[in-house]
Amino acid sequence: MRLQQRKTNSKSRRFLVNRMPDLTQLTISEALTGLRSRDFSSQELTAAYIQRIEELDPKIHAFITLTPELAFEKAGIADQMLAAEDRELPPLLGLPIAVKDVLCLANVRCTCGSKILENFIPPYTASSVSRLLDAGVVPLGKTNTDEFAMGSSTENSAYGPTRNPWNFEHVPGGSSGGSAAAVAGGMAPAALGTDTGGSVRQPCAFCGTTGIKPTYGRVSRYGLIAYGSSLDTAGVIARNAADTALLFQHMAGFDPLDATSVNTPVPTYQLPDSPDLHGLRIGVPDEYFLQGIQPEVESFVKAAVTQLESQGAVPVPISLPYTEYALPVYYIIAPAEASANLARYDGVRFGPRLGTEEGLQEMFKQTRGQLFGSEVKRRIMLGTYALSAGYYEAFYGKAQKVRTLIKEDFIRAFEDVDVIAAPVAPTTAFKFGQHSDDPLAMYLEDIFTLPANLAGIPGLAFPVGYDKNGLPIGMQLMAPPFKEDLLFRVGHAYQLATEWHNKKPSLPTMDNQLK
């Protein structure tokens, strides 16, 4: 399969790609092996993904901005390095990935899914992204998101929603819906996402992908455009736990540019080659199997726990009694922090300026009034109210106290169990518009993901089944702080023994497109 000559014009690229197996179907470890043994070049791999994006993304709309020139430039450099075999090569050299459009990539516009940042071109790169660039990745583009990552469906993006690759009438989840749909649609082998209240895990559940929400402080937030600073984390979405761990390995770690980054060594994520989980204690919290949860979600998540049990794990019923307060606590703390973080988009520091001829107040009003979407405005108002004099203690102060109780629930639980298993979301992917008139119903979709953010603990989401309409069902495993390694091990062991993560939506493949 080794190619003699590598041509760069797109016609010959098409031809070469067509003679090979569909490169977009390879796992990350397969792609890296293929690149190292020079079965194909990084430019060919990149071309295969870009072609797939060109074919599918007009329908799915996972990307806000594509960066093909940058991708081919980086891929070309990677190919030169791969050809000079004598040097030690960066670990992810030549691997294309996608990046959520709230993480800065120098000289590429970063919109945050908002009109107010439509023309914002950051002069620097987020540390999470620059570490991966140092490891050799090739950026394909910036993925769609709910505006400022506020939402659970991508319906709040100012650039239009992303469609779920499993069913175009359903949402992909959010806010990292573009990243999850790009991976599920085979338009990227992995994508970066952010998770403030579930935005990596919930789109993974809705799109059948695997994703890690790290411990708060494990991955740098420098260059992650802030939503709720005490909750924001940057994570990875990929096709399986092993691929997720491969990328996460090179993203995690201390960063002096982020004051909340924690200086704890990052272990080498060793994954088992046999699915034995002997003695692992899995907590199953009562509070996550509520009345009203879609019955198939409950039954498939419970079946996944039984599967883990058959591999040696021991399920332990546990209780996390403060779970019911996570939703109200989050929806005070996150909007409060957002209202402060979004003050900078005022037409002076950031954003275009509207209504300048009518004075300063009017300029602020028009700029923010016209360029923020309605959900962002709702959050700013809720947050400003919760922080206002006279209400601060009753809302924000109280919420912080209850946040501590939620965290203590987990500390207590982890005295008895190693990981906690739960559904990611109470339902599978809902239809566009289903919750549009009812913000509370939308917020309820986050009920099982918010606690991990409030407690700062890591969570891994992965598919454990499909509902009767063929839509994916996700489970999450949560672990004590900095125990991402345990999550990867258990997720990988489960995936060695099951096939759910290998199921793909029926979309046109490269081969049948080119015939």
| Binding-site ranges for ligand GLN (CB under 6 A) | 149-152, 175, 194-199, 227, 334, 446
**CB 198 to ligand GLN: min, Å:** 5
Return the H-helix or E-strand segment holding 178.
helix 177-184
Compute the distance between CA of residue 134 and CA of residue 129 in angstroms, rounded to an integer: 9
Nearer to ligand GLN, 96 or 214 (CB): 214
Q: Which of 74, 100, 142, 483 is catalytic?
A: 100
SS3 322: helix
Nearest CA-CA partner of 486 in 316, 320, 306, 280: 280
DSSP H helical ranges for 215-270:
241-249
Got the DSSP string for 105-137? BTTB---TT-GGGTT---SS--HHHHHHHHTT-
Residue 349 burial by CB count (10 A; 0-12/13-18/19+): exposed, middle or buried? Answer: exposed
Beta bridge partners of residue 466, listed in sequence order: 472
Q: What's the Cα-to-Cα distance from 50 to each of 35, 188, 202, 415, rounded to whole Å?
A: 17, 9, 26, 48
Return the H-helix or E-strand segment holding 36.
helix 28-36
Q: Is 310 a catalytic residue?
A: no
Q: Which of 175, 179, 261, 339 is catalytic?
A: 175
| Token digits of residue 143 | 């993925």
> Do residues 161 and 175 touch, judged by C-beta distance below 8 A?
no
**CB 151 to ligand GLN: min, Å:** 5
Compute the distance between CA of residue 280 and CA of residue 374 in angstroms, rounded to an integer: 46
Q: Is 152 a catalytic residue?
A: no
Nearer to ligand GLN, 197 or 463 (CB): 197
**CB 402 to ligand GLN: min, Å:** 17
Compute the distance between CA of residue 143 and CA of residue 154 in angstroms, rounded to an integer: 11
**CB 324 to ligand GLN: min, Å:** 17
**CB 443 to ligand GLN: min, Å:** 7
**CB 332 to ligand GLN: min, Å:** 12
Total number of residues shown for the chain: 515
Nearer to ligand GLN, 227 or 482 (CB): 227
Only one residue has tokens 């984390």, namely 233
Q: Is 175 a catalytic residue?
A: yes
Nearest CA-CA partner of 459 in 420, 489, 426: 420
Nearer to ligand GLN, 17 or 382 (CB): 382
Nearer to ligand GLN, 177 or 505 (CB): 177
Give the strand pairing for 234-238 and 190-194.
antiparallel
Nearer to ligand GLN, 330 or 482 (CB): 330
Compute the distance between CA of residue 334 and CA of residue 20 in angstroms, rounded to an integer: 48
Nearer to ligand GLN, 34 or 151 (CB): 151
Q: Which of 130, 176, 199, 220 is catalytic?
A: 199
| Token digits of residue 467 | 């509902």
**CB 148 to ligand GLN: min, Å:** 8
| Token digits of residue 114 | 């908002």
Catalytic residues: 100, 175, 199
